[in-house]
Amino acid sequence: MRCTTLRLALLAIICSARSASAQVTPAAGSTPPDDTPSIRVGAVIYPDYTYTLNPETTDGAGNTIHFSQFNVSRSYINITGNISHIVAFRITPDIARETSTFSNLVGSLEFRVKYAYAQFNLDDWMTKGSYARFGIQQTPWLDFAEGIYRYRFQGTMFVEREGYFASADAGASFHYELPSKYGDVHVGVFNGENYNKAEVNNQKALQVRTTVRPFATGVPVLRGIRASVFYDADSYVKSAPRNRFIGGLTFEHTYVNAGFEYLNTSDQTLTIQPKREGQGYSIWATPRSTNGVEGLLRFDHLTPNTALDAQKRNRTILGLAYWFPHQGSVSSAMMLDYDGQTFDNFAPALPKQSRLAVHGLISF
């Protein structure tokens, strides 16, 4: 009897322990990550109307005219999703107008791939925001810079508009977020021909961007300061460099974003050809109010070949925009802007180019 009572008591203790264990609330932070597969669809549209002030041109009847057109300069369909909390993806078809005179599709709207990559999130092992990507993806500089500039819908930024490289390319990259938001490092190996061209040889571009935010935990007004350096080491063919260096300084604030970038380039298409060095800079600011009205002030200056130092290309952009109220991460805006470019001491002489335009943005 005594032995039986002891056994029953022991059994009751075990059952109570199991019951108590089942009722314990999991410790904070122990919730497993969400591995539910997901897919999201969005779009980006850049409609515009452009009126050419200079130069004048002639129509089919020989009349002198100021050329004008309605256009959609860019239209993206963004398909993003997660296979798990580690594996993600993005597919972005790009619908753009063919402008090459060597193509029999010149003037047509073409469907091509802008982004198509797999992303491996490394948050489980590194700082939040670290990842690796494989496929056609954003290159380290332009995607970062455009996120601060915010006026890609008016036109491309300085280095892309001057034809030195584009915002996407096929390759593999690694992004590391510094602790406490003090900056980030993005390094990648790419074909070097940009997303809209096929690879032509065995040369690859090594691109590295390092950004520091020195006052990330300081007073609020200084937290928006970031300093960046970017280097693109590439070659047209073996021993024929195609290199770009950018040094940039940006500032973000409730009432203004601003940026400055210095560019240095080195190009040698063949080893038997002379090397061409170029340099320039771009400075811009986007002052804004609290009611959605913003301005865009930008000046670009380029010396394409320092051996011909008198040859300069200057661009001035002035714009006034209205950003419509929204919820979440969507955005929409309309903008009236002037875009003018001058060419100094080129042979043959190049006329001044200037345009007035209305640009629109839809992004969701």
Please give the Cα distance from 219 to 30 (Å, whole number).
Answer: 33
Q: Please, which pLDDT band fits residue 159 given cuts at 50, 70 and 90?
A: very high
pLDDT at res. 29: 52
In this predicted structure, the answer to whether residue 348 has a pLDDT above a threshold of 50 is: yes
Residues 128, 134, 137, 139, Cα dihedral to 10°: 70
pLDDT at residue number 30: 61
Long-range contacts of the stretch 175-181 (C-beta < 8 A, 24+): 175/129, 175/130, 175/131, 175/132, 175/133, 176/126, 176/127, 176/130, 177/126, 177/127, 177/128, 177/129, 177/130, 178/127, 178/212, 179/127, 180/216, 180/217, 181/213, 181/216, 181/217
* Rg for the chain, CA atoms, rounded: 27
pLDDT at residue 106 greater than cutoff 90: no
Dist. CA 336–CA 318, nearest whole Å: 9
Global pTM reads: 0.87
| 27-36, 170-179, 210-219, 303-312: least confidently modelled range | 27-36
Write down the pLDDT at residue 109: 78
Least Cα distance to 184 among 151, 141, 220, 152 occurs for 141
Q: How confident is the model over 209-252, as pLDDT tens digits?
A: 999 999 999 999 999 999 999 999 999 999 999 999 999 999 99
Q: How far is CA 234 from CA 141, 169, 231, in A?
A: 15, 13, 10
Average pLDDT over residues 151-164: 96
Is it the case that residue 21 has pLDDT exceeding 60?
no
If you classify domain 41-363 with CATH, what class do you get? mainly beta
Question: What pLDDT is recorded for position 179?
Answer: 96
Q: What is the pLDDT of residues 33-62, one digit of tens each?
A: 888 999 999 999 999 999 999 999 999 999
Among 311, 258, 224, 279, CA closest to 151: 258
Task: Please report the sign of the dihedral spanned by the C-alpha atoms of residue 139, residue 141, residue 144, residue 150.
Answer: negative
What integer is the mean pLDDT of 264-273?
A: 95
Mean pLDDT for the stretch of residues 326-335: 93
Location of structure tokens 């490394």: 122
- Given a contact cutoff of 8 angstroms between Cβ atoms, the answer to whether 325 and 292 are in contact is yes
pLDDT of the residue at 335: 99
Q: How confident is the model at residue 329 (pLDDT cuts 50, 70, 90)?
A: confident
> Is the confidence at residue 342, as pLDDT, over 70?
yes
Query: Residue 292's pLDDT band (boundaries 50, 70, 90)?
Result: very high
pLDDT band at 103 (very low <50, low <70, confident <90, very high): low
